[in-house]
Amino acid sequence: MNTASITYLGELRTQATHIRSGRQIITDAPVDNHGKGEAFSPTDLVSSALVSCMMTVIGIMAQTHQIDVSGMEGEVLKVMGTDPRRISELKVLLRFPRDYKEHDRVLIERTARTCPVAKSLHPDLGQDIQFSYAHGR
């Protein structure tokens, strides 16, 4: 079974439907590439997928090791390159509302850096991953 079905709606907009759940996502081309910028662009989704994947696998690891990561937040800055137009770097910040023992930090950071999306992106795409804990590092 397919993962998603995508329809071009015109005016540089698409609608993706997740087959299993029926949930939908709209994408628009960004303003700097002839679009309206009224929704996530496809490259915004790639950027967001990286952080979502990191947070998901951290959550799975945290359940296994009884580490409380509730309240974890993430941000991503997408840097676009030219010739060819592509994502050249993703700058990620993962924030945690508490501090952790060094062992738990190592687990969190290793897990984030090895999530399936991070490992699926081309090695030329820079990934600057930063972690912020309540009591600093």
* Encoded tokens for 136: 């600093």
The closest alpha carbon to 9, from 31, 24, 32, 27, belongs to 27
> What's the pLDDT score for residue 137?
46
> What's the pLDDT score for residue 64?
97
Tell me which residue has tokens 């290793």. 110
Count other Cβ atoms within 10 Å, centred on residue 92.
Answer: 20
pTM of the model: 0.93
Look up the CATH superfamily of 42-132. K homology (KH) domain (3.30.300.20)
The closest alpha carbon to 92, from 48, 44, 37, 41, belongs to 48
> What's the pLDDT score for residue 1?
85
Task: Please check whether residue 6 is in contact with residue 15, taking contact to mean a CB–CB distance below 8 angstroms.
Answer: yes
Structural domain boundaries in the chain: 4-33, 42-132
Blockwise average pLDDT, block size 10, the chain, 137 residues: 96 97 97 93 97 98 97 97 94 96 97 98 96 76
